Amino acid sequence: MGGKGDFAEAARQYSIAMQKRPEPLFKEKEVVRIFREWAAAEPDSAKAQYFLAVTLKDFGRYDEAKDVLVRLRDRYPMETSYSQHIAEMEVLQGKYR
């Protein structure tokens, strides 16, 4: 799906799979590539950027995920969930107690 450019559907399918079985089911490199391509193809889409951040977080790429979330938080300051995700990752990294 992502290889064919249907990034939203690829994201939907990935999210469904992760809800059923939370450990990564797919090859990390390929999954991250698909979400990066979607985010690059739709740079103004908060949804595409958010799914990229969540995917990066799922694979333990906290610094990369935080970079995306910080950009989203700065662009959409009224959306508090971005700050919540950032704080959660800082706790996971032991940076915030």
Q: For 15-56, what is each residue's pLDDT tens digit?
A: 666 665 555 555 788 888 888 998 999 999 999 999 999 999
pTM of this prediction exceeds 0.75:
no
**pLDDT value, residue 49:** 96
In a domain, 97, yes or no: no
Q: Is the pLDDT of residue 57 over 70?
A: yes
> With b meaning 16 or more CB within 10 Å and e meaning fewer, what string describes 45-72?
eeebbbbbbbbbbbeebbebbbebbeeb
- Asked if 23 and 54 count as a contact pair (C-beta separation under 8 A), the reply is no
In a domain, 53, yes or no: yes
Q: How many domains does the chain have?
A: 1
What CATH number should be reported for the domain holding residue 39? 1.25.40.10
pLDDT bucket at 86, cuts 50 / 70 / 90: very high
**pLDDT value, residue 64:** 95
The parent domain of residue 12 ranges over 2-92
> Using CA atoms, how far apart are residues 88 and 56, in angstroms rounded to an integer?
14
In a domain, 44, yes or no: yes
Number of alpha carbons in the 13 Å side-chain half-sphere of residue 80: 0
In a domain, 40, yes or no: yes
